[in-house]
Amino acid sequence: MGLLDGKVALVTGGGKGIGRAVAHMFVAEGARVAVTGRTLSDVRRVAEEIGSKAVAIEHDVTKRADWKNAIGYVKDWGGRLDVLVNNAGVVVGASFLEATDENWQLHMSFAHAIFMGCQEALPLMKQGGRGGSIINVLSSWGQRPVPGFVSYCSSRATAAMTTKVLALECAADRNPIRVNSVHPGITATDMTWNAVDKMSAETGCSKEEALTAFLSFNPIKRMAEPEEIAAAVLYLASDAAALVTGIELNVDGGSLIRP
């Protein structure tokens, strides 16, 4: 038996990195998964890798209409929704004085996306009274300030508080939807490598030096693999976490507790 036998999940940002790893792991544990993302070719590739238990949906999480379409598709395809993984995100570094309105609004649009996604998904998740799980994949940088990333840190912190408020509101139900967040540290994804490249180009340091600077936040001194983040998401999605709600689960090599 798999940890997610019979469950239906929706994973945003599923075309690569952490989202792709989550989708693969969920199906391996018995779930059917809707893999969504802004680039249809990416999510189609992941769905094809997985096979018949996955479906690809083109989905811009910053648009409510796309959320309505995605949830409607899942209802028709899967008949239910047990797990929502809000994984889509963006990071564009900027210091406080250099950050533009556009930079701020770009990052905040992904905090808003989590708000919209939960609002649109909850009615379907509540049908049947089975309970369920929402996991918001955020960042350890939303828990501790990082110079040069004011908009990103602020948006992740906003989403973390949204998670906790929703967890309290859902906990009052007889069969509650559990709501938690996972906070990766530096992870081997395209987003990380793009940030490393940007830092290298802007400062003139090598890519190795830029990566070392990023890992200075991490006592274990290595990046996480996407599958390591996916394993934390799987735990929170499963019935093994039936009494776990409102937590921030760090998978960050000890970044949050560093001196």
Q: Tokens standing for 146? A: 């990082």
210 with 196: CB under 8 angstroms? yes
Helix then strand then coil, in percent of the chain rounded to 5, is 50, 15, 35
Task: Give the amino acid at 2.
Answer: G
Q: Which two tokens stand for residue 232?
A: 């934390």
Backbone angles phi, psi at 154, to 5 degrees: -65, -40
Considering 26, 141, 149, 152, which one is annotated as catalytic? 152
Closest CA to 11 of 185, 210, 222, 229: 229
Q: Which residues of 40-69 are buried (b: 16+ CB within 10 A; e: fewer)?
A: eebbbbbbeebeeebbbbbbbbbebebbeb
CA distances from 168 to 57, 173, 178 (A): 30, 10, 9
| Residue 152 appears among annotated catalytic residues | yes
Q: How far apart are CA 125 and CA 127, in angstroms?
A: 6
**Pure H helices in the chain:** 17-28, 40-50, 64-78, 101-126, 150-171, 190-203, 207-215, 226-237
Task: List the catalytic residues.
Answer: 152
